[in-house]
Structure 1
Amino acid sequence: MKGKIFLIDLDGVLVGDKKLNPIKGAKEFLEVLRSKGIPFRVVSNNSTRPPSEIVKILREKGLELEEERFVSPLKVLPKYLRSLSIKRVLLIGMEPVKRYLMEEGIEVVEDHQVQGVVVAQDRSLDFHKLRLAVSAVFLASAKIIPVNLSRIVKDDDGLYFPGAGSVALMLKHATNYPDELPNLGKPSKEFIDYALDGLEGEEVYLISDDIYTDLLGAKALGIKTIFMTTGKYTRDELKRANFEPDLTFDSLEELMEHFGLKSPF
């Protein structure tokens, strides 16, 4: 295992639902990585809660994780907004994200007269919010700022809904928005560089259940890809995506055995 770094997706790899309940073997997997001194970070495109709240919930669920080992786009978002001198935004997103942005000095309003439209996961997205968002971009030249470019999200009941990236692309299409949409989440180079900061190793692996959002982009960056079938996609989706990851596993136990990590199962 010398020289390897693991970037581990949260949803679909370590947790199995939106309540952040750990998947079998997740606790043991992280414990083994720590005990062997293998550098890793848990990476997530979760845009429903600030990073500190997610880590707190994971600990309450029995999944020990230090906040410095957890990276999400919300860690990058305030800095990105400040780099564009954006101080007033309309948010498509959940209440905890609104509080987080306001704590970071960003004014969050329900008005189309804003400098930016921040697009995160929003379970209360309705016509009123969409009307304001389209008007903000079309009438006030607001920037469209997706927290990530996630296409699709699996809900706890097995059904799916559009990710932040899909909603942002809809706004872009509706308003004939000319700019390229930024990607503050994985696997953009900026996000990966942030996640790898301070870690030493020669071979980086991204472990994820998401072929389209994560693994395709990671491979383009020269990162080794590990596909887990424990999340939203089955092996059949690899054929539809015409994508061949470096490795594929059906459980964390299989992954640990492959890399010669002592399994506590």
Structure 2
Amino acid sequence: MASIGFLLDLEGTLVKDKSYTPIPEALEFTKLLDEKKTPWIVATNNSTEKPYELVKILRSKGFNVDENKLLSPSLLACDYLRKNNVKSIYFLGTDKIKEFFEEEGFEVRDDHNVDAVVVGRDKEITYQKLKIATSALVLNDAKLFSFHKNRVIRDVDGLVGPSVGAVATALSYAGNKSFTSFGKPSKEYFERAFELLGLSDPKKIYMVSDDPFTDLAEGKKNVNFQTVFVLSGKYEDSSILNKIEKDLRPDYTFSHIGECSRLLEGENGNA
């Protein structure tokens, strides 16, 4: 049985952005993991692509992935919704994910008469969309779900914008109700990830991400795994870690994912 395993964030860690261009040394590192028979999966909060389409994209970029080596909120969303007796939803997000929900048997409506509001990444979000979502929460007592809790996302133009978690938090405040997240850092998400790795001891599992807040700090709080912060994505300066409680700061900080090879060699990173 493998002694350690890796959960690898996607955007900002393995690839640059929505262009899915591999970050330098990302392909080499994943190939090294395969050579050493060290289990790894892509643990992403991607809310724009259907899971099987994302696998195709990553394979076209050179990553050795299949549907057993990728975990996205889309794969958990349907289970969550069915358990909560949700049949109709108002969805903020891409047409691809809207189609995914329809393929899974959910009614995706354009008005507020729904069982739930689901927040994904919607780059064409408008006040009208937010008004319909808020009306569903306030007037129809709809439940509120979010693909994840990420605060910000770095776009292809290099600028940083509000991510899914920021929009969900705004709707939560407006609707005066809490929201449930499908993705990282939920305990359910990481437990499913551990199953895919075939490992159960969190101290043997490294979460590598460019998001020190959602993926790493909150993830560590929920499942107590090893955390690795990379400076190749949202944040290029490690001083951002000063905003995190000391006991939840990353165990390691590296410039990029390629430096994670030190963990395989037993070397120490810059904790």
- TM-score normalised per structure 1: 0.93
8 A contact 2:6–2:205 mirrored in 1: yes
RMSD value, Cα: 1.6
Instruction: Choose from 188, 212, 232 the match for 2:186.
Output: 188
Query: Could you give the per-residue CA deviations for residues 190-209 of structure 1, whole angstroms, max 9, x where no partner exists?
Result: 00001111513641111111
8 A contact 1:5–1:201 mirrored in 2: no
Match of 2:46 in 1: 46
Query: Could you give the per-residue CA deviations for residues 112-155 of structure 1, whole angstroms, max 9, x where no partner exists?
Result: 10000000000111122111101111100011111111111111
8 A contact 1:3–1:201 mirrored in 2: no
Deviation (angstroms), 1:93: 0.6
Match of 1:245 in 2: 250
Q: Give the AA of the match of 2:181.
A: N
8 A contact 1:227–1:245 mirrored in 2: yes
Give the whole-Å Cα distance in 2 for the aligned partners of 1:59 and 1:200. Answer: 25
Match of 2:131 in 1: 131
Q: Percent identity?
A: 38
8 A contact 2:55–2:66 mirrored in 1: yes
- Structure 1 stretch 45-54 or stretch 239-248: which is displaced more? 239-248
Three-state SS of the structure 2 residue aligned to 1:197 is helix
Match of 1:200 in 2: 199
Match of 2:109 in 1: 109
Give the whole-Å Cα distance in 1 for the aligned partners of 2:41 and 2:216. Answer: 16
Match of 1:222 in 2: 224
8 A contact 1:4–1:201 mirrored in 2: no
- Seen in structure 2, the aligned counterparts of structure 1 residues 2 and 103 have a Cα distance that, compared at 3 Å, is closer
8 A contact 1:10–1:44 mirrored in 2: yes
Three-state SS of the structure 2 residue aligned to 1:117 is strand
Deviation (angstroms), 1:218: 2.1
Gaps of 5+ in 1: none
1:1-265 alignment, distance < 5 Å: 3-177=3-177, 180-198=178-196, 199-200=198-199, 202=201, 203-220=204-221, 221-233=223-235, 234-243=237-246, 244-260=249-265
Q: Give the AA of the match of 2:72.
A: S
Deviation (angstroms), 1:2: 5.5
Query: Could you give the per-residue CA deviations for residues 91-123 of structure 1, whole angstroms, max 9, x where no partner exists?
Result: 001100000000000110101100000000001
- TM-score normalised per structure 2: 0.91
8 A contact 1:218–1:224 mirrored in 2: no
8 A contact 2:226–2:251 mirrored in 1: yes
Give the whole-Å Cα distance in 2 for the aligned partners of 1:175 and 1:183. Answer: 16
Q: Give the AA of the match of 1:196.
A: F
- Structure 1 stretch 60-69 or stretch 4-13: which is displaced more? 60-69
Deviation (angstroms), 1:64: 2.5
Deviation (angstroms), 1:88: 0.6
Matched length: 259
